[in-house]
Amino acid sequence: MFCFAVSCGSSASYDIIIENGTVYDGTINAEQVTDIGINGDQIVKIGDLSKAKATKRIDAMGLAVSPGFIDMHAHVESIMRLPAAESAIKQGVTTVLGGPDGRGPSPMKDYLDSLDGYELGVNAAYLVGHNSIRRAVMQTENREPTAEELEEMKGEVQEAMDNGAFGISTGLKYVPGSFSKVDEVIALSKVAGKAGGIYTSHLREEGLGLLDAVQEAIMISREADIPVILTHHKAIGRPMWGASVKTLAMIDSARNIGLDIMADQYPYTASSTGISVLIPTWAMAGGTSALKKRLEDPKTKEKIIEEIMFNLEFDRGGAQLDVVQFASFKYKPELNGKTLKDWAIERGLEPTFRNGAELVIEAQLNGGASCVFHAINEEDVKRIMQHPMVMVASDGALLEPGVGHPHPRGYGTFPRVLGYYVREEGVIDLQTALRKMTSMPADRLGLTDRGYIKEGMKADITVFNPKTVIDKGTFEDPHHYPEGIDYVIVNGKLTIDQGELTSERAGRVLRKNQ
């Protein structure tokens, strides 16, 4: 027992005492009812503190006390505009990993130094983005890099790793990452791996090509000697429902031969990304202006339409136009929350795949749109969640109430797991769920001072009611904060108090090895 600059007797004094809570420490140890004493940004005492003094006491009788949740796939691109990160912190999230899907910032030093100047509600760690680097060096050209360009990209990855990046992310479904061959990805991943980083990937395909895409990620892990996370793991489109049986077996097989493969997941049966995901990537080379020029050729236009029709029927389109729901559509904001089928009917068109394809093209030529795609099977969600190497992650953006019609995961991922999948459905137990949200991601990132409730650890703590915690946002009405997240402490500061955001902003920019 040690007390970190406070005495261990009844005269000890603490900034915050959480008393009478049921503490889950992030490990496989059984939960225990006990008290936690916090001074500064540290947990300094765990045990009976009934006689100790405290500036602030939190009565956690009947509540679960957990390490703060770590979101391994967070779209926090707007964090400088929304530094409080309210939609994350109200889920119990205390640390976010930004820069997923190949979109991480570069140069890393400039970005993180700038972010240091903001008062953040959460801790922020970052991945360097393959797509960001490729775009800076090669724009959106559909070709292999020259030797000089590859060296330049490797240098950008090294810069990021030298300045605190936790690894590299790829978005191999998206332009320009989709134009890269696996050798290029391996070469860049070797740089990140040698610096102790991880590799997270939006796979090249999550629908019909899913199994080949998982195999590619496993090969990258082997050839680059780097831990791999199959991020927001899923099986998209009706033809692939049930494929998680095979993908999870592939993870197990890879781990059995010594490869470090994991996954993360959000707990919903819909994905969310740009409508351009329905357009063949070759048609997007060079950007929207190049797409427009290709469409001027009748044969090329027909090929593009046919490939979009295929994707609508068999891939992310989910076989019906009403599977594609608009989340943010500046060209026609009145369609936010409505579907591609609604748009077709509004135009007086039959809701056919061909007419849907024409509308997809129109949307892209007019600024694109963010969409929700209802094309995932619930049994796959449950099966992936139960796998021991799968963590919880939102894939959610920082949200503002009333702005757009976003995927509800940005408000409810972690409470949904705890309320719906743990309490109501019994898919996994509470202790397992909390490990997937806390110590597993902390260990994966190499964070040695977060992710556990232990003396000496940083005081990132989430206190919630396991009987009432639940997400409230829906696909029809997404803008609702969850219920049952009562207190959130970030680096020793009470940031959520009785469910409400306080004025404390104690989040920090986290840099690997620094």
Q: Which tens digit of pLDDT belongs to each residue from 29-73?
A: 999 999 999 999 999 999 999 999 999 999 999 999 999 999 999
Cβ atoms of 13 and 5 closer than 8 Å: no
**pLDDT for 153-201, tens place per residue?**
999 999 999 999 999 999 999 999 999 999 999 999 999 999 999 999 9
Residue 7 has pLDDT above 90, yes or no: no
Helices (H), ranges, 349-453: 353-365, 378-386, 409-416, 430-437, 439-445
What is d(CA 251, CA 263) in angstroms, rounded to the nearest whole number?
Answer: 9
Domain boundaries, the chain: 67-269+376-450, 282-371
Residue 489 has pLDDT above 80, yes or no: yes
pLDDT of residue 4: 46
Q: Is the dihedral of CA 352, 353, 354, 357 positive or negative?
A: positive
Q: Which of 499, 498, 508, 417 is nearest to 460 (CA)?
A: 508
pLDDT of residue 383: 98
- Quick one: which H or E segment has residue 151? helix 147-162
Q: What's the mean pLDDT in 346-373?
A: 97
Of all residues in the chain, what percent carry a pLDDT higher than 90? 96
CATH number of 67-269+376-450: 3.20.20.140
Q: What's the mean pLDDT in 387-414?
A: 97
Residue 1 has pLDDT above 80, yes or no: no
Cα–Cα distances in Å, from 262 out to 15, 134, 215, 421? 38, 25, 13, 20
Task: State both tokens at 100.
Answer: 């997923």
As a whole number, the mean pLDDT across the chain is 96
Name the phi and psi angles at 343, rounded to 5.
-65, -40
pLDDT of residue 9: 45
**pLDDT for 424-443, tens place per residue?**
999 999 999 999 999 999 99
Q: What's the mean pLDDT in 5-33?
A: 85
What is d(CA 61, CA 50) in angstroms, rounded to the nearest whole number?
Answer: 13
Cβ atoms of 180 and 202 closer than 8 Å: no
Task: State both tokens at 92.
Answer: 């119990």
pTM strictly above 0.85: yes
pLDDT of residue 10: 53
pLDDT of residue 316: 83
Residue 242 has pLDDT above 50, yes or no: yes
| Count of H-run helices and E-run strands, the chain | 16, 23
Q: How far is C-alpha 155 from the chain's CA centre? A: 26
Neighbours of 453 (CB within 10 A): 25
Q: What's the mean pLDDT in 103-128?
A: 97
DSSP 96-108: EEE-TTTT--SSH
The burial of 95, by beta-carbon neighbours within 10 Å (0-12 exposed, 13-18 middle, 19 or more buried), is given as buried
Task: State both tokens at 419.
Answer: 């309320």
What is d(CA 255, CA 289) in angstroms, rounded to the nearest whole number?
Answer: 44
Instruction: Kindly indicate the confidence band of residue 135, based on its pLDDT and cuts at 50, 70 and 90.
Output: very high
Cβ atoms of 217 and 243 closer than 8 Å: no
pLDDT of residue 163: 98
Give the helix, strand, coil percentages of the chain, each rounded to 5: 35, 20, 40
Instruction: Kindly indicate the confidence band of residue 317, based on its pLDDT and cuts at 50, 70 and 90.
Output: confident
The burial of 148, by beta-carbon neighbours within 10 Å (0-12 exposed, 13-18 middle, 19 or more buried), is given as exposed
pLDDT of residue 11: 67
Cβ atoms of 209 and 171 closer than 8 Å: no
Largest CA distance in the chain: 83
Cβ atoms of 435 and 423 closer than 8 Å: no
